[in-house]
Chain A
Amino acid sequence: MADKIATRQSYGRALVELGALRQDIVVLDADLSGSTMTKEFAKVYPERFFNAGIAEANMYGMAAGLAVSGKTVFASTFAIFAAGRAFEIIRNSIGYTGANVKICATHAGLTVGEDGASHQAIEDLALMRTIPGMTVLNPADDVSARKLLQAAAEWNGPVYVRLGRAAVPVIYAEETDIQIGKAVTLRDGKDCTIIATGLLVSRAMEAAELLAEEGIDVRVLDMHTLKPMDEGAVIRAARETGSIVTAEEHTVIGGLGAAVAQICCEKAPAKVSFVGIQDTFGESGKPDELLEKYGLTAAAIAEAVRTVK
């Protein structure tokens, strides 16, 4: 059984490491530093940590001001308040200015769990994808989260990083090369491709195992970068395996599936099936119960493959 670590924990660790290397890094939070794990940075570098209080709009406005003054800013809160509540501030003050702000949003998706629908951001990737120049990352595990956060710090311009509350299996070896904009082929196959992102990557691997027992040979891609998306990997998947199943802990409107389908429609027609949250809000429950109820399981992904291939 693989170790399980929440990507917000990876974030806390990555920030402390980055803070030691880079004096220009400043961290902001909106009264959730104990949950987003920015408290780890605050403990070591209190002079470079600013709590904005429960005021997400102003936090992202301040982040923009710090960034245009030369700072590399990591600004965190729950995804619903970052991508949702502060959307227009992020669009105008960070996106439109190209400000060097890393919007590291934790507690994304249904797996927030018991807090319920008000706190379950299931549309954040769609919202962030629409902002010109915004890079959108959704790491699947601890290793890729830390590597992508490091890459985000080196990336000049706004980046949205989706992080989770729930512990997820570690799927990568520490030395794995993970780069922004480059999908990772976790498993090769010829019958169908599962393109997964974030928390559903490990479930996509489980689905591939299930299907292998039936003699169905699937490719699995970790699409950790939703924007700019690795078009080549999508086109190859469409041409070489003929069909694609996308899997995301996100509404099927405007997220990974929509982006993949757009590429397929324009450049490499293939059948695409979408595993994601249908047009509905979530509810309170344990993370695994919610994933089961809303169809975000290895079994659901495997069933989509059987149907579409």
Chain B
Amino acid sequence: MNKQALQDKAALIRQHIIREVYHAGSGHPGGSLSATDIMTVLYFHEMNIDGNDPSNPNRDRFVLSKGHASPVLYACLAEAGFFPKEDLVTFRKLGSCLQGHPSMLKLCGVEMSTGSLGQGFSASVGMALAGRLDGRDSRIYVMLGDGELQEGITWEASMAAAHYGLDNLCAIVDHNGLQIDGKNDDVMRVMPIAEKFRAFGWNVIELDGHDLDAIAAGFRKAGKHKGAPTVLVAETHKGKGVSFMEDQAGWHGKAPDREQAEQAMAELGGIL
């Protein structure tokens, strides 16, 4: 997909996010919007996946370790043909396949159930080990939040990934600097992120998480790096694309009302 097409796709994904969260009356728009450009590049440029052949053993696999950003994952899966887009409005409703946090047993295309922070990262290390055991050249991608780095298990997982030299694993840290209670720096400092991963033995690439070219280049470089896992530390803005949500911790886990949702959709070039 070319850059213009990716930009259009990202805009569409953002519109889906607002619709999902608005219709659910709850959910996590801030961290979904910050991760949108990275997820768009992954699902529509980088990853070898096929919505019509979801269990192909040679597919690439994506794990949303920051599982609360489920709206962006569901939007990508729907756009990639894993399920009908009309189902997006059932997000968080009783009986829906679109659980508040992703469930692999409920929704095709979800590679790992997540929501309890850090665990998806751990599972992705196991998936990368399995891929290597089976001699597959497919890759494992895992998205983490920056606040998620406060969980001890993330460092257990990063130690293991480096120890086993899992170069088929690529982590992305969605570094928007905010978490529910406020700034990372005020709640529990996670900086310096890149240096921490370097010290743990990872190949680290720092980039602008809203620059589609830079993201695509980052994944390309990660794919070529041998002997160690790669992490993309992506500078992002929480709520990116919706003016009143940008860089506001308050939009971590809150749904817009009708007026706000309409304004957000207008800014994103869509209608509610």
Q: Which chain A residues border B157 with CB–CB below 8 Å? A: 58, 61-62
Contact residues of A between 55 and 102, Cβ < 8 Å to B: 55, 57-58, 60-71, 88-89, 92-93, 96-98
Q: Which chain B residues border A62 with CB–CB below 8 Å? A: 122-123, 125-126, 129, 157, 160
Interface pair A58/B130, CB less than 8 Å apart: no
Interface pair A70/B125, CB less than 8 Å apart: no
Interface string of B112-127 (1 = CB under 8 A from A): 1101101101111111
What is the interface of chain A, defined by CB distance below 8 A to chain B? 26, 47-48, 50, 52-53, 55, 57-58, 60-71, 88-89, 92-93, 96-98
A-B contact pairs, 23 of them (CB 8 A): A26-B133, A52-B160, A55-B153, A57-B152, A57-B156, A58-B125, A58-B160, A61-B126, A61-B153, A62-B125, A62-B126, A64-B112, A64-B123, A64-B126, A65-B122, A65-B127, A65-B129, A68-B112, A68-B127, A89-B122, A93-B119, A96-B103, A97-B112
Q: Which of B131, B159, B164 contacts A50 (CB 8 A)?
A: B164
C-alpha spacing A62/B123, complex, angstroms: 5
C-alpha spacing A93/B104, complex, angstroms: 10
Interface pair A61/B129, CB less than 8 Å apart: no
The 8 closest A-B CB pairs, nearest first, are A61-B122, A65-B126, A69-B130, A58-B156, A65-B123, A62-B126, A55-B156, A66-B126
* Given the contacts A52-B160, A62-B122, A68 and B105 also touching, CB distance less than 8 Å: no
Q: Which chain B residues border A52 with CB–CB below 8 Å? A: 156, 160
C-alpha spacing A62/B160, complex, angstroms: 9
Interface pair B123/A53, CB less than 8 Å apart: no
Interface pair A61/B105, CB less than 8 Å apart: no
Interface pair B133/A48, CB less than 8 Å apart: yes
Interface pair B153/A57, CB less than 8 Å apart: yes
Interface pair A68/B133, CB less than 8 Å apart: no
Interface pair B116/A88, CB less than 8 Å apart: yes
Q: Which chain A residues border B167 with CB–CB below 8 Å? A: none
Closest residue of B by beta carbon distance from A97: B113
B108, chain A: closest CB distance, angstroms: 13
Q: Which of A69, A96, A97 contacts B131 (CB 8 A)?
A: A69
Closest residue of B by beta carbon distance from A101: B126
Closest residue of B by beta carbon distance from A98: B105
Knowing that A47-B133, A60-B122, A62-B122 touch, tell me 13 more A-B residue pairs with CB under 8 angstroms.
Answer: A48-B133, A50-B129, A57-B153, A58-B156, A58-B160, A65-B124, A65-B126, A65-B129, A66-B126, A66-B130, A68-B111, A69-B126, A71-B133
Q: Which chain B residues border A57 with CB–CB below 8 Å? A: 118, 122, 152-153, 156
Q: Which chain A residues border B57 with CB–CB below 8 Å? A: 70
Q: Which chain A residues border B105 with CB–CB below 8 Å? A: 96-98
Which one of B105, B112, B164 has the highest number of Cβ atoms from chain A below 10 Å of its Cβ?
Answer: B112
Closest residue of A by beta carbon distance from B163: A53
* Given the contacts A48-B133, A93-B113, A53 and B119 also touching, CB distance less than 8 Å: no
B112, chain A: closest CB distance, angstroms: 6
Interface pair B119/A61, CB less than 8 Å apart: yes
C-alpha spacing A97/B63, complex, angstroms: 14
Q: Which chain A residues border B163 with CB–CB below 8 Å? A: 53
B17, chain A: closest CB distance, angstroms: 24
Closest residue of A by beta carbon distance from B157: A58
Q: Which chain B residues border A96 with CB–CB below 8 Å? A: 103, 105, 113
Q: Which chain B residues border A68 with CB–CB below 8 Å? A: 104, 111-112, 123, 126-127
B104, chain A: closest CB distance, angstroms: 6
Closest residue of B by beta carbon distance from A92: B116
Interface pair B122/A58, CB less than 8 Å apart: yes
C-alpha spacing A66/B133, complex, angstroms: 10
Q: Which chain B residues border A60 with CB–CB below 8 Å? A: 122
Q: Which of B115, B130, B159 contacts A53 (CB 8 A)?
A: B159
